[in-house]
Amino acid sequence: MSILFIVCRLFLGGFMIYGGIQKFNKPMPEPIEVVEKAQKFTAAEKVNTLQKILYISGAKQTGYFWQVLGICELLFGLLLMIQGTGFIGALFLLPITLHIFLFHLFLEPDDIEELVQTGVLFAINIGLIMREKEKWKHLLWIKPI
């Protein structure tokens, strides 16, 4: 069972590191480019694609959020892969994996493969945290005197 959790940590950590690196591979689009790209998807049947374009482009246009997300994915993925910091890496990654899953659930509900993949990542993250519940359960359940 311990080997399974090590494999899960390495898988999730590697996936997050890869995702973090990908955030820095492409140049940030100019606002005009975003508008031109979005105008191609104004038809009613393409509203899901338009929502995804506007959401991700909006995160990139802030000038900081996309980069902060990439740095967090890299850092927390590395923490997860290191033996002594695996729990804190899993804990810090929880909101990120939840966000990724919810993004696909609400903006790509028809893409079952992506939904399953991101759901598995979120489930692995929850499993890694639950495995260490002895470290944090006292924060939630205070024993009566």
Burial class (CB in 10 A: 0-12, 13-18, 19+), 3: exposed
Percent of the chain with pLDDT over 90: 59
Q: What is the average pLDDT across 25-35? A: 86
* Residues 68 and 23 sit within 8 Å (Cβ to Cβ): no
d(CA 119, CA 125): 10
pLDDT recorded at residue 1: 67
pTM here?
A: 0.86
